[in-house]
Amino acid sequence: MGFTPALHAEWIKIRTLRSLVGGLCAVLSATVAFSVVSAFSASSASSADAATGTDAEDLDPLFSVFFGVSFGQIAAIAFATTAVASEFQGGALRLSLAAVPHRGRWFAAKLTAIALPVLTVGLTTGLITVVVGSAVLGEKADGLSTADCLRGALGCAVYLTLMALLAAGLTAVLRSGTTALSILVPFLLIVSFVVGDMSGNVADLLPDRAGQVVLHSRREGALGPWTGLAVTALWAATAVAAGAWRVQRRDA
């Protein structure tokens, strides 16, 4: 079986599993919901500062709008880990490899079937988030240029896709979605912030912190918006390469 039929087969698996469709929907809903809460809080705080005669110079309007990505990425990695982990249950991988004996081709089709929906949903999420978040943020969003908003929307899509691929590669290595999530979720929600506070610039090279530079309107540090995403891409590529090696070496 060639790559195109293999990709079509993997896409059928994804769109027919409710948990995977729900995961994609959760990417959008979680990102937008938490971004609205963040923008509303920032707007309220700014109003309070204006009432007391203080100026909220520390506000990063773009990140206030895209704050929800920190939670939307959990849904993205859950989607990716579930899509890969389902192959290691009930002998599903044997059936997949019977149809596509070339393991590298099968794994590439699986990754593509994961990346394309996340990229599409991520771009939709980014555009909706920037419109809704900016409206909620109010006048504090006036400093955002069209270029900033488009960068944030595109960066949101690329970042979520890279994190999904990182999760997919790690799941292939561990052959367990539960184990992959038990590593990634605490890391993204807790460990990354603790390490960042303790180690300074070294933590800027972590996949989530580097990738989210693109969601900031102003940022101090060595990484820029696109170089930060390049660092995240390197993490994702390493995980995918390790996953491909594992798929080639392990029995189905």
pLDDT tens, per residue, the chain with 252 residues = 788 888 988 999 898 888 899 999 999 999 999 999 988 887 776 555 544 444 456 688 899 899 999 999 999 999 999 999 988 887 778 888 888 888 888 899 999 999 999 999 999 999 999 999 888 888 777 778 889 899 999 999 999 999 999 999 999 999 888 999 999 999 888 877 676 655 556 778 889 989 999 999 877 777 889 999 999 999 999 999 999 999 888 765
Q: What whole-number distance in Å separates Cα of residue 217 and Cα of residue 121?
A: 23
* pLDDT for 47: 54
DSSP string, the chain: --HHHHHHHHHHHHHH-HHHHHHHHHHHHHHHHHHHHHHHHHHHHHHHHHHHT---TT--HHHHHTTTHHHHHHHHHHHHHHHHHGGGSTTHHHHHHHH---HHHHHHHHHHHHHHHHHHHHHHHHHHHHHHHHHHHGGGGTT--HHHHHHHHHHHHHHHHHHHHHHHHHHHHHT-HHHHHHHHHHIIIIIHHHHHHHHGGGGGGSHHHHHGGGG-SS--SS--HHHHHHHHHHHHHHHHHHHHHHHHHS--
Residue 21 corresponds to which amino acid? V
Residue type present at position 193: F
Dist. CA 217–CA 202, nearest whole Å:
21
Interatomic CA distance for residues 35 and 63, integer angstroms: 9
Contacts of 242 (CB under 8 A, 6+ apart): 169, 170, 172, 173
pTM for the full predicted model: 0.90
How many C-beta atoms surround the C-beta of residue 101 within 10 A? 10
